[in-house]
A and B are shown apart, each in its own frame.
Chain A
Amino acid sequence: MKSVSFKNAKWVKEPMGGTKYIQAEIDSIVWDIPMDTENSTYVEAMRQVDAGELTIKDAE
């Protein structure tokens, strides 16, 4: 079972502090997903990346 379906996933690097997060469309809504290992969406995104099921575009 894939618990989250991501679309148009990309890394975002905010300009002021340099922190990174993932921006992706889930259930037709664009979400900002923080790099927090207790955040289930982030953990699932990394699992899908490791499994070759998801590609996250690099920050622009």
Chain B
Amino acid sequence: MPLSKIQPIDNQIIPNLGHRNVIINGAQNIDQRGYGGGASSYTIGSTGNIYTIDRWAAFVSAASKIGVAQVADAPNSDFKYSAKITSLAATTIGSGDYYGYNTALEVNDVQHFGFGTSSPKQFTISFWVKSTLTGNFGIAVRVKPASPARSFPTTYTINAANTWEYKTLTLTAESNTAWTAQGAKGSGFSLWFDLGTGSDFHQTANQYYAGNATAPSGTVQLAANNAATWQITGVQVELGAVATEFEHRPAGLERSLCERYYQHYGTQQFFATQYQNSYKIAHVHFPTRMRAAPDLTYSTQGGSGWSTYNVGDTQFKSYVSSASSATANHYVHTVRANAEIDY
């Protein structure tokens, strides 16, 4: 960063020059799940917190209502990609319905914001956004709504349709300990961009609320407008009251940060070796230690009835019944490991 861009933050003698941004993949560059395959939209075909572009999830109460894509459309040459959400129908949004684009951070990574302490600090959210719709859009900071839950709904305004706009919001953390209750690796901070939610999730803007609020009432409901689109990139959340220039991290570092939560190995083969006289076992090591022992899905070659074994945050094994005299290739391939935060 050039010296002219260094700004004082909370009177620190040495400003935060690097690793300011606690958001991972805020520029929407890393896409292990394949939402950048060239289609204008990939339909979210299930309900729940469906992870799409790395670290970002479409959180939906009904399937096939919105689509997500990583598209090569960005506000300026500093960025290559944005996430594009497309409404696939004029959905009637009931009181308990929800549609949002969400990323969740570990308590580990936002400890320094002072949530749950006697010294909560200011932090600033900044991002680039573009939509076919204009008006006040909902945005919220939330923590996992197992009891206790907390949230802070607020708004930002899109003034012109189909035009990239830069937005900043400065909030102050709060002392309520719900924000750290999930443990160091648990959900400590979720950033929700509201795409249409029902009245069950609406609360007064700009104040903390004991519950799960995603927006104030009266905000734009993207999911209720067929073919409406909303795009975002350059998302940054940092300590202090100043929105600094987006922190572009090296591609390898950003990828590793994403791999803490999700890893996908397409056709790579992890060959099995003989184990005891009657099994063949494949051992898969993760290049990045994951947040937790991950959910696994994978395919196999050779034999049938493979069993997952001894899953940890650095590796797992899979084995199949097979005599040492069986010489056909046995291997695991197309591994996906998921240790995302669920809120």
Query: Which A positions have Cβ atoms within 8 angstroms of B?
Result: 1-5, 12, 14-17, 19, 21, 26-34, 36, 38-41, 43-44, 47
Contact = CB atoms under 8 A, between A and B. Distances in A.
Interface of B: 45-50, 59, 61, 98, 145-146, 183, 185-187, 212, 279, 291-297, 307-311, 319, 321, 336, 338-343
A24 B291 CA distance: 21
A32 B296 contact: yes
Contacts, number: 92
Contacts of A2: 47-48
B338 A31 contact: yes
Contact of B311 (A1, A3, A21, A29): A21
Top 10 A-B residue pairs of the complex, sorted by shortest distance between their CB atoms: A40-B342, A38-B292, A14-B307, A36-B293, A34-B311, A3-B49, A32-B308, A27-B46, A34-B293, A3-B342
Contact of B307 (A5, A12, A33, A39): A12
A44 B338 CA distance: 14
26 contacts: A1-B145, A1-B212, A1-B343, A3-B48, A3-B49, A3-B59, A3-B342, A5-B46, A12-B307, A15-B307, A16-B279, A16-B319, A19-B309, A21-B311, A26-B48, A27-B46, A29-B297, A29-B336, A32-B296, A32-B308, A38-B291, A39-B295, A39-B339, A41-B295, A41-B342, A43-B342
B296 A31 contact: yes
Nearest to B276: A16
Contacts of A3: 48-49, 59, 342-343
Contact of B342 (A4, A21, A29): A4
B190 to A, nearest CB: 10
Given A4-B342, A39-B293, A44-B342, A32 B46 contact: no
B338 A41 contact: yes
A41 to B, nearest CB: 5
Contacts of B49: 1, 3-4
A31 B48 CA distance: 16
A24 to B, nearest CB: 9
A38 B307 contact: no
A55 to B, nearest CB: 18
Contacts of B308: 12, 14, 21, 32, 34
B150 to A, nearest CB: 15
B65 to A, nearest CB: 14
Contacts of A28: 45-46
Contacts of A32: 295-297, 308, 311
A15 B321 CA distance: 10
